[in-house]
Each structure stands twice: as C-alpha cells, then as structure tokens.
Amino acid sequence: MAVPKAIVLPLFLVLCGAALGASAYEGYLRNGNFEESPKKTDMKKTVLIGKTALPEWETTGFVEYIAGGPQPGGMFFPVAHGVHAVRLGNEATISQKLKVKPGSLYSLTFGASRTCAQEEVLRVSVPPQTGDLPLQTLYNSFGGDVYAWAFVPKTSEVTVTFHNPGVQEDPACGPLLDAVAIKELVHPEYTKGNLVKNGGFEEGPHRLVNSTQGVLLPPKQEDVTSPLPGWIIESLKAVKFIDSKHFNVPFGNAAIELVAGKESAIAQVIRTSPGQTYSLSFVVGDAKNDCHGSMMVEAFAARDTLKVSHTSVGGGHVKTASFRFKALEARTRITFFSGFYHTKKSDIGSLCGPVIDQIVVSHVA
C-alpha cells in the first residue's frame, strides 16, 4: 500500500533524527500561540466559558481570549507574538499536560505583560516547582516582554500551569500571556582549557521566532532551575539572553545583556584547587541596540575583582578583559554584574546594559 505523501516528510525526518541522534525537542506547546480560536458558543464576549473552551488548554476562573490592539474602555493590549492572547483575571489559571523525560532540563519561553494593575504577578508551575514572576518592571516601553522559566520534571507527564494569584477590584485585571514555547536544554559540559561551563552562553532557552527583544531570565528566587545552563541568575531582577540575529553578539550565536544594573547579575561556581592561581577572561561590549553611555562591568572571583569600563556609542563595539585570582577553596564563585543603570537613548522606557560573552577560566602555570 502506498504511503500518503502528507506523512512522507515527517517520517523521513524522524528516521533521520533517530539515525543521526535527534536534537532536543523545541517549539510551541499545542496551541501555544493561542491562534486556534475557541468556538463562539464557548465565549461570552471575550470571556471563556467552561474549562475546555480554549483549544488544547484547560482553564479555571476569569480567563479572556482577546485580540491585540485597542480594547473597549480605552485600553490597549500589546500582543507582540501573534494576533491573539489570553488574559488571566482574579485567581484565573490555564494549564496543559505535557509528555517529558524525567530528569531532563526544560525551559518554557513565553510572552507576558501586565495590563491594568501595577503589581501583577504571573505564577508559573510544573509540580513540585513553582515561581512567581512580578510583572511591574517593564523592560521595554511597548509591552510584550519575553521570559524563560526552567524546570526538571520528576515524572513522564507534567502539567504546565500559568496562574494569576492576585485579587483586584476589577476581576478582569491580570497578566496577558501571548505565546508559550518549550525547549529541552542540554546539560553543559566542560570544554578543553576552560573551567567554566557554557561560558559562551550558546545553550539557552527557546527564542520566539517573531520576537526581537531577547529573552528575560528571572532571578533564582523566582526560578530555582536556571534557564541558562551552568549559570545562576543571582540578582533581584532579570538578565537578558540575546541572539546574534537581532543584537550584536561578540562570539557565536548568543550572549548575556545585563539590563538592570547591580540588580542584574549572573554567577557560576567552578571547581578550583586552593592556593592555585587562575586567569579569568571575558568580553564586554554593547548590543548595538541604541544603548549609549559609560558602562561598567564588575567581575568577582574569590577575593579578587575587576571593574571594566566601556563607553558605548551604540555601535556594537567590544573589548576583552582579564585578571588573575587565587583560589581559596575547592569551589570558587565567579560573578558578573553591571555597575550602572541604562536605558535606550531614543526610548528611555526600555532598559538595556552592557553585554558579556566568552567567559574563560584557566590555570596559570
């Protein structure tokens, strides 16, 4: 019997993937961009009726299905990654079950923004892990921030849940969610001559194909499993994972932009020998994204520190810095943060900062 043409290509890709070693899964969740619309009978104006009204998702509470743009009452909802989005009102939830590999590292990527309350929070959970992302800080002036949140499942099936834990006077007030994707991340390994894992930031969360803003990585208080393998987001606010398609990246395909001054830091604990001297080198620059001014990246290792200044004119210039440190223990924490706060020259509502990349720690003979 002939094989239908519609399944020849997918079958070919599956077989090739099995033969060559299939890459980790990456892409939207089912109806992850919310473009598969509910039936008209499952809606009352914009409000979803019944827990299965939103295709592929289960909902509870006051959930709205909206189109981006001007809204009744004079509001404007930015839907940066498509046409449709969901808004989670008081105590509202959307969830979806996923098949996963227990013990593997996964990262969710999603577009999220607040709508009509100042202190809106988006709670993300994959049991037993949960995290609250405060949305009052807008990292760009036109909404549509993109976040990543990582988890390690303990079972082969998990439930991904987005929840609004707030209770506002207006029951519809709450976070806007406009796209959800997932990526299975690779646990980083050491490379020859470098004691830092993922020092070039090449392994990181999924980047939404229609997003140009980079991906915000929340601090460890909000996500104990970092979406940047090998690294701890050790700060009060997020750092930004940027790609070479939309930003100036010194090396490879990705880098980190420190977008919130001293509230935006990354760290890694590396293996060292007490009394041994090491060299720490890294690259500092700007993302060529209209971030101008006198920048400063501060690096720490054991008891040693280095401040690297960089004057940005928005041209994507970079410089290499290095210093030596003596290890005091068998584990040494290296930390990087921005000394100053910055906003874009033509858009003071959008946070930005210095870029770091290509971090290398090596033995000094």
CATH number of the structural domain spanning residue 165 = 2.60.120.260
Token reading at 229: 């393998």
Assigned domain for 206 exists = no
Say if CB 195 and CB 325 are below 8 A apart: no
Residues 53 and 179 in one domain: yes
Assigned domain for 232 exists = yes
Q: What is the pLDDT of residues 170-221, one digit of tens each?
A: 888 899 999 999 999 998 888 889 999 999 999 999 988 767 789 999 999 9
Q: In which residue are the tokens 């509230």 written? A: 263
Q: In a 3-state reduction of DSSP, which class is residue 33?
A: coil
Number of domains forming the structure of the chain: 2
Sites in the chain below the pLDDT cut of 70: 1-24, 74, 117, 141-143, 210
Residue-level pLDDT at 42:
96
Determine the structural domain holding residue 333 and report its residue range: 215-363
Assigned domain for 3 exists = no
Greatest alpha-carbon pair distance for the chain in Å reads 73
Assigned domain for 259 exists = yes
Residue 243: C-alpha distances to residues 23, 231, 290, 323 (Å): 19, 17, 16, 27
**Distance of alpha carbon 38 from alpha carbon 48, whole angstroms:** 8
**Distance of alpha carbon 73 from alpha carbon 50, whole angstroms:** 25
